């Protein structure tokens, strides 16, 4: 890449079974630091949310972040009329980390 003197950092996002989800290539200069972090991918949860700090060098580097598909187990479902008269359904995922809202 023009303007950078280091080899790139390749970031792969894949499932624990090896299914490709996304990828990125980051460019920089030798000695510069880059903090890689798992990205949000719809339908998947990162196995580890730990960021990785790398330093650009004269060698290509690769990071792989692994994800598992979200498994929904309906434990509690509630429905209400939301803004603008729309129905809002709340589903709690099995891991109880986040609510998922379905607007209808």
Distance CA 25, CA 36 (A): 11
DSSP the chain: -TT--SPPEEEEEEETT--EEEEEEE---TT-EEEE-PPP-TTEEES----EEEE--SS-EEEEEEEEE-----S-EEEEE-GGG-EEEEE--TT-S--EEEE-
Domains of the chain: 9-69 (2.60.40.4300), 71-104 (no CATH)
- Cα 40 to its chain centre, rounded Å, is 3
Mean pLDDT of the 51-75 span: 90
Which pTM value belongs to this model?
Answer: 0.67
Q: What is the pLDDT of residues 6-54, one digit of tens each?
A: 999 999 999 999 999 999 999 999 999 999 999 999 989 999 889 999 9
Residue written as token pair 């729309």: 86
Mean pLDDT of the 78-90 span: 64
- Asked if the model's pLDDT at residue 100 lies above 60, the reply is no
- Asked if the model's pLDDT at residue 104 lies above 50, the reply is no
Q: What percent of the chain has pLDDT over 70?
A: 66
What is the dihedral angle through the alpha carbons of 72, 78, 82, 88, rounded to the nearest 10 degrees?
30
Among the residue ranges 45-49, 60-64, 84-88, the one predicted with the least confidence is 84-88
């Amino acid at each position: 890449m023009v303007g950078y003197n280091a080899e790139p950092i390749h970031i792969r996002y894949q499932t624990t079974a090896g299914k490709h989800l996304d990828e990125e290539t980051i460019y920089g200069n030798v000695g510069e630091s880059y903090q890689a972090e798992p990205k949000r991918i719809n339908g998947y949860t990162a196995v580890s949310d730990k960021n990785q700090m790398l330093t650009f060098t004269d060698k290509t580097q690769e990071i792989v972040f692994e994800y598992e598909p979200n498994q929904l187990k309906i434990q509690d479902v509630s429905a209400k009329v939301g803004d603008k008269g729309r129905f809002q359904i709340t589903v709690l995922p099995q891991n109880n980390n986040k609510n998922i809202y379905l607007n209808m």
